[in-house]
Amino acid sequence: MLLANQEDKFINTLDDVNAMVSAELIAYIQSMLRNGYSEQQIRIYLLRSGYRATDLDQAFNQLQHDIAIAPATGSRPPWFWIAGAVLGLGIGGIIIALLFAAPAAQITLVASPLQVEVRAGDVLDIKDTFRSNAAGTLNVLHTLIDPSTREAIGAPSTETVTVSAGSKAETFQVQVPSTITPGRYIMDVTAIDSGGTQTKTSFSFNVLAAKATCSDGVQNQRETGVDCGGTCKACLQIETPGQPPSQPQQPTQPEQPPQQPTTEPKVADCPGGCNDYDVTTDDECVDGQCVHTPKESVCGNGICNGGETSSSCPQDCGAGLNAPSADEVIENAKTQAPQDTERATALCGALPRPQDKDRCFSVVASSSGKSDLCASIVEDITRDQCYIDFALTKNEFDVCEKIQNRYLRGSCNSLQNLRQLERQRQAEQAAQETQVPATEEQPVAEQTIEQPV
């Protein structure tokens, strides 16, 4: 009786094990079917893995039985399928939006003046070329910059430009202030798209003194008064209260040319001279102001100006592949700089790309030994490096205050202090060396005095 009970327990345990194996086997077969494997592939794999054919038949039969009694709509609730459909539509919409979304706009900007010099009070014509990969609207700002202080002169002029995919050129006019001091200035050009992305470029140009007239409110061109006398109309004479109303000699008083030189005010000098390092202008100081008068264009002077073109003057404007490269122009300017600085700077100014101009002015400044030429460099980093080179190699520490980067300016001032301390130490050492022979001669002097005794 006891043996029979133990045998029944063993059979029940074996049935439980078979049921567990069958459940695991069915679950495995279900996962393989969902992954795309066929029934035949699954049978072959499981037979090779040691499963019996009867177990596999039982598992597949049980699986088919479960599928047959399962509801036609599946075991998942309706909201599951609705949520899946909404999610699929959302993902599909995102994919379509990414595929057909417009690419980010990319703008390139090239700006150049239509004349290399303009008089104070006149209008500067500027040609801006925009290249974009998409259509849009740009806000274009033109800002006049003083190169010595890097500060804006007046408010920038603002225009709106509509661009499309491709290249587009526009011409703008910027009013130059009539009160501006003649010299070289920088025009910053900034294009801002609808997303706020900014594209910048710049160029330099010369401002000449305003043309003297009889209505400019300034006493110039040998006038004896403001806008009167000399080449202008005669100045009015105001009679004093005690003077008789009719004086025959009064009307003839303005017409006394021989006496004009004695009453003409002394012409003021121009501090620092008026040389603008431009070979295309005649420079002179008139009534305390520098006047730069454009020369007539001469083919062969190495400057493309005055309406010269590559066909009319290939020597100056270049002709296709025969035009010199930027490196060749810079090397030529470096050679010219020690003997003819004006010629060298003119070569730099004729380069079309701003970065080549900056590199050329830096080379010419170093070769000529003139630190003031560093002010013609537009980019701050290149200009600061030009100044610091003069401090390092030529001990010109007055350029330290012209450096824009405050860390580099601090290094320049520290270098100046170190050089001063070094000079003081050398001076003290030289003074000590000159005192040594005098102290060594004293015993000799005492010895010569003791000899007669």
CA dihedral 75, 77, 81, 87 (to 10 degrees): -120
Q: Tokens standing for 129? A: 């070329």
CB 182 within 8 A of CB 207: yes
Taking the C-alpha atoms of 144, 146, 152 and 158 in order, what is their torsion angle to the nearest 10 degrees?
A: 10
Question: DSSP code of 266?
Answer: P
How is residue 397 written in tokens?
Answer: 């520490």
User: What 3-state class would DSSP assign to 376?
Assistant: helix
User: Phi and psi at residue 20, in whole multiples of 5°?
Assistant: -65, -45
CATH of 107-208, one of 2.60.40.10, 1.10.20.10, 2.60.15.10, 2.60.40.3880: 2.60.40.3880
Q: What is the pTM assigned to this prediction? A: 0.35
Instruction: Please give the pLDDT value at position 107.
Output: 86
Q: What is the pLDDT of residue 367?
A: 92
Q: What pLDDT is recorded for position 360?
A: 94
For the CA atoms of 411, 414, 418, 419, the dihedral, rounded to the nearest 10 degrees, stands at 70
Name 225's bridge partners.
228
Residue linked to tokens 């526009």? 170
Distance CA 382, CA 410 (A): 17
Q: Going residue by residue through the chain (453 aa), what tens digit of pLDDT does each one get?
A: 434 444 454 445 444 445 555 778 888 888 888 888 888 888 888 888 888 888 888 888 888 876 654 444 444 566 566 666 666 666 666 666 555 555 566 888 999 899 878 888 889 999 999 988 888 899 999 999 999 888 999 889 999 999 988 888 999 999 999 888 899 999 999 999 988 889 999 988 899 888 777 877 777 767 788 888 877 878 876 655 555 555 554 554 555 555 554 444 444 577 767 776 665 677 788 877 888 777 666 665 566 666 676 666 655 666 544 567 889 999 999 999 999 988 888 888 888 889 999 999 999 999 999 999 999 999 999 999 999 999 999 899 999 999 999 888 999 999 899 888 988 888 988 888 887 554 444 444 444 444 443
Give which of 235, 265, 262, 240 is closest to 251, Cα–Cα.
235
3-state DSSP helix/strand/coil percent for the chain, to nearest 5? 45, 20, 35
Q: CB of 200 within 8 A of CB of 192?
A: no
Q: Residue 345 corresponds to which tokens in the numbers above?
A: 């700077």
The token pair that represents 331 in the structure block: 């090397």
Residue intervals of the chain classified under CATH 2.60.40.3880 are 107-208
How many CA atoms within 13 Å lie on the side-chain side of 417? Answer: 6
What DSSP assignment string belongs to 320-341? Answer: GGGSPPHHHHHHHHHHHTTT-H
Its sign, for the CA torsion 400, 406, 411, 417, is positive
